[in-house]
Chain A
């Protein structure tokens, strides 16, 4: 047990270090990006003195290292800083965007995990037959279709032509949870299509390895029912790689959805970061990227913990 605790402690320390490095990289990259904060806020026609004054007021004319040190210092006290663009604290923006992104990610996972894991299991148990080929080829073809292509097609079919689903992800304030969920289905679908093939194929590979394993034959020759063999002996071993892959995809869902969010005009953390980058809004940009980084690391740790629980080795 002591060994496991130490492992967790080391893991957390390393994660902190990773985040620190990430913030430094983002900050450095931000300095290199062309443009000027005061200029982008006030517009190209503004007076140069006004721009300089605004820069000074925002602290954007300080030496880079000082700016970085100030920001890290505040961050450690739980203060994410003040947005250059909105002139108000960053934290509420991040929290709101993260909430929206989480909702979309949750809907996507709720759809894609049962579908793709089920398809992977089906493909593995019908190896070489048409079901297997369908899952393999279909999954692969869907994975290579970019989200904006499938997104537009889905909007046209389900939103415009069939009118089954609302084409905007946003709902009016005060809308009930079921209706909010209904609005999220169409934005989630392109993501489901992208992830489906990947997760299904990993599941299929894990299933096939476990189905062919000696221990599965041992279980079969014990005279256990096929369902018992699958449930007790095969699945637990087969799904370990799938869990890791799903965790990695979760972080993609939380941070990398710029295209889908733009397409459905959904203010998740992806579009927040994009807007911040356009406007040279460093505090917002960095807080956003660090949040995504933290989500990434957190989901990886959770997946590892889950795998460690299921696999005594």
Chain B
């Protein structure tokens, strides 16, 4: 039998004196795909760099063995290591725009991978490789600089570079984080197809459990640098043998779960700080199954066939105590916020660019409208129009509680301003770094709610309690808080003025699943308490589905479909919605023709026709499909209602 593509045996790695990985052992068979999952900070990326002996200067292997194709990697000379890098292993990381050298053309960078191998005519090989990763017009791409390409194309170039040497091991570190859903699906399909062709083994590192489940044969779960469970992918995520895995899976808003079904599971506490002393079982402090033995004796490796769990106990694990759930808010009938025919045209270098094109929406009290679309679809511009940060083109109207709302923030009364607030993806952008959380929250209470004295103190403590920030957190500056706590502070800031509508712009996409679950619960709870309405922008359909009552799908500035959440996701839906839904399911994906074009001038026909897999003919190019924003579930498509597509929707996260 040929040796494993990668074998780690008792691998320990430290940064300086801080241990990051502790005795990591697993193997990847030739051509197999192994997924490594866990919360951020658990050591996933360190494992990837260590496996390739490409740790940053401060990192050092303190114990253990690394084998690639049976070769002892730790004993390689400098030249031997370079040969290993040049011929056997490749790595793709999270942000393709940073993985490519901004000052060299794609062709030069890609050709290097062949030059190193001594291959003749590297430029021609580079062009052929680009064709294999299915980019449009490979020849033209050779002369392009990375910044001229979309994120999806950049990642294809990185993958082309990685696969150029026909490696026996490919390490993917969060390869699709930051890419749009349909692009992510295409990249994953591509990697999957190419690695099968070439027989490349893959180490896939991700915090996205559903994605790992789809791609991998086996999965390992890391906690605080320790592999707590490994086994066949379906088994590990479907029937976890370690309490940590079980809780991680339960955090996902999967299986068609909705906010009315109750809050999501969360994991109390956080990862131990780097360098902190660990309990004999590292997870014990956060574990529901904890008994005295967990704090006195290190857990044994329990093997069942090829499935290992590092735990004193066997499943089933007791269900964690149910979270007390307030009844979810019932969406009222009365519209709070209504937008009619909002458009926004920017003057671009190549002519006018229509960022938002005739968007209309209504939002009832206590309702959540999920706003779904890929980057460039106009979601964020629409949010800015609602907030009054950008003035719409003449002709659009906004109403708040049936009264006209000024187009810009300056033209709005203080009451109107405090009525609409926003939560950003990156809480850092909403929190003044120089101030303590207390003053960050006090300011809107004074300015927007007009409070002072004792009423101010009372409101502040109520606000902090509402997002579960303690007195200690109020005294800290934002940089001292974790990502989840920062987002809580940003949510508290948005809620300080008792808003009617809060726009949530991807508020959880930078967070771990356990923290995401807590934030989603918090948002649902605040909505139940205050009857606030949300416009919830996200690319994660499972998250949108959990929180949204209605969903609007945007593409190139237009709303293609609006309707009740269940109906939009269940179909029949717009061909684009079908592609989005299929991108996040285990079923066959619907392929789009090419990527979303850059937003441009107003088009005569349907904005989606160039990419549409269900295009009828010239009618799509020349005639705008009808769209009645006042209907219950309008779909902007020329296809007759009966012929609209429908996706077998087993949403990812169901882990079926």
Contacts and interface: CB of A to CB of B under 8 A. Distances in A.
A214 B102 contact: no
Interface in B9-67: 52, 54, 56-57
Given A236-B103, A313-B145, A221 B85 contact: yes
B289 interface: no
B349 interface: yes
B91 A221 contact: yes
A91 to B, nearest CB: 42
Contact of B116 (A215, A222, A236): A222
B54 A221 contact: yes
A262 to B, nearest CB: 43
Given A221-B91, A222-B161, A313 B82 contact: no
A223 B103 contact: no
A237 B102 contact: yes
Contacts of A212: 56
A217 B98 CA distance: 10
Contacts of B89: 221
Interface string B68-91: 000000000000001111110111
A223 B83 CA distance: 6
A310 B57 CA distance: 29
A63 B90 CA distance: 77
Contacts of A313: 102, 145, 147
Interface residues of A, number: 23
A221 B90 contact: yes
Contacts, number: 71
Interface string B491-523: 000000000000000000000000000000000
Contacts of B158: 218
Contacts of A236: 103-104
Contacts of B86: 222-224
Contacts of B145: 312-313
Interface residues of B, number: 32
A3 B350 CA distance: 11
Given A214-B98, A312-B145, A313-B147, A219 B103 contact: no
Given A3-B349, A233-B104, A312-B145, A218 B83 contact: no
B108 to A, nearest CB: 8
A232 interface: yes
Interface in B85-118: 85-87, 89-91, 93, 95, 98-104, 109, 112-113, 116
Contacts of A215: 98-102
A225 interface: yes
A225 B86 CA distance: 10
B82 A225 contact: yes
Nearest to B97: A214
A9 interface: no
Contacts of B54: 217, 220-221
B102 A219 contact: no
A214 B99 contact: yes
Contacts of A310: 103
A56 interface: no
Given A223-B85, A237-B101, A218 B57 contact: no
A223 B104 contact: no
A129 to B, nearest CB: 11
A4 B83 CA distance: 43
A233 B101 contact: yes
B90 A223 contact: no
A137 B158 CA distance: 40
A214 B84 CA distance: 19
Contacts of B101: 215, 218-219, 233, 237
A225 B93 CA distance: 21
Contacts of A96: none
B52 to A, nearest CB: 7
8 contacts: A218-B109, A218-B158, A219-B101, A221-B85, A222-B116, A223-B82, A224-B112, A233-B101
Interface of B: 52, 54, 56-57, 82-87, 89-91, 93, 95, 98-104, 109, 112-113, 116, 145, 147, 158, 161, 165, 349
* 4 nearest A-B pairs in the assembled complex, by CB-CB distance: A223-B86, A214-B98, A223-B85, A215-B101
